[in-house]
Amino acid sequence: MERSHLTRFAWLSVGAALLTIALKAIAYYITGSVGLLSDALESVVNLVAAIMVLTTLTVAARPPSELHPFGYGKAEYFSSGVEGSLILVAALGITWSAIQRLLQPVPLEHVGVGLAITLAAAAVNFAVARVLLDADRKYGSITLEADARHLMTDVWTSLGVVAGVAAVAVTGWERLDPMVALIVAANIIWTGAKLVQRSMLALLDGALSASDQAAVKKVLDQSCDEHVQFHALRTRQAGARKFVSVHILVPGEWTVQRGHDLLEQIEEQIRAAVPGANMFTHLEPLEDPVSWQDVGLDRDDES
């Protein structure tokens, strides 16, 4: 599957980050709100993350090579992991600024204009996030999904900040502004931690989703009868690439051609059920006890 064209979505994310940084920085400069500052700092993280997404998608699109025969799909997990780490760093900065403002409250100025600018920035992020989520559903890119989820978090963060700053303007309680910033920081920490966790787990060669595994098993079950069985089914995912390996057991009297034709049929059906699946099938004689020992990653020599 050609994936180099996905970089255009990364460029869109970079452009959106630059625009929202400018808008939110202006809003902070006008109002002096530490809540709006926290929102602007998260957009800086968005920019760094978008650049990382661009780099990662470029690497992931490389064709398989002699040193990396299975491709570079796992590079996508580095992007979401780095993005999550950057989010955590930004959250610490926001927390520090909010604590300082709690100790020394500062009155806000020109709140209406600042909030209007922030809402405009939130609208930009929302639109870009929707585009990235649609692209993820179409192309199956965890990098685009992570970036989209982060942008949606930014949208909700902006709306929360707007509500908090508006409440400060109405009530005159200046410490409410840094309190909102602390809530924003907590939300950012949660998002960052989830991204880091997901990336780390994905790098450990996780199995395909439950729905994909069910689709594979359905094909295998339909292909089996008293003469054909399967075992040692294993799946894994690396970025957008999906891998399925299985052992098919048939009567030993079958010709190589007949067994080969069956495997080709099964592989074609699985690829139709799980688009993009890379298939590895192994043919074994049904009557040989040794065939049944291949049930794990390593042959059990003691069986």
For 12-35, the pLDDT digits (tens) are: 888 888 898 888 888 888 877 776
- 3-class secondary structure, 232: strand
DSSP per residue over 45-106, as a string? HHHHHHHHHHHHHHHHTSPP-SS-TT-STTHHHHHHHHHHHHHHHHHHHHHHHHHHHHHS--
Residues 6+ apart with CB under 8 A from 144: 6, 9, 10, 53, 57, 132, 133, 135, 136
CATH class of the structural domain 4-202: mainly alpha
CA atoms within 13 A on the CB side of 119: 10
Give pLDDT, residue 301.
45
CATH superfamily of 210-293: Cation efflux protein, cytoplasmic domain (3.30.70.1350)
Report the distance separating Cα 7 and Cα 158, nearest Å: 27
What is the pLDDT, as a whole number, of residue 1? 46
Q: What pLDDT was estimated at residue 303?
A: 38
Rg (CA), the chain: 26
Looking up tokens 């639109």, which residue turns up? 127
Bridge partners (DSSP) of residue 230 are: 248
Residues of the chain with CATH 1.20.1510.10: 4-202
- Which 8-state DSSP code applies to residue 255? -
Q: Which region holds residue 32: left if phi is over 0, alpha if psi is between -120 and 50, else beta?
A: left
The single residue listed with the structure tokens 């040193």 is: 67
Q: 42: which residues sit within 8 A by CB, 6+ positions away?
A: 87, 90, 94, 154, 157, 184, 188
Decide: 177 and 34 in contact? Cβ < 8 Å: yes
The residue ranges of the chain whose pLDDT is under 70 are 1-4, 35, 38, 42, 73, 76, 79-80, 83, 97, 101, 106-110, 140, 142, 201-203, 205, 239-240, 294-303
- The whole-number pLDDT of residue 296 equals 57
Q: How far is CA 146 from the centre of its chain?
A: 4
Q: Which two tokens mark 233? A: 């089914």
CA distance 150 to 145: 9
The pLDDT of residue 262 is 92
Coil/strand/helix, residue 12? helix
- Give the count of beta carbons closer than 10 Å to the beta carbon of residue 7: 17
Please provide residue 235's backbone torsions phi and psi, each rounded to the nearest 5 degrees: -135, 155
Domain ranges in the chain with CATH number 3.30.70.1350: 210-293
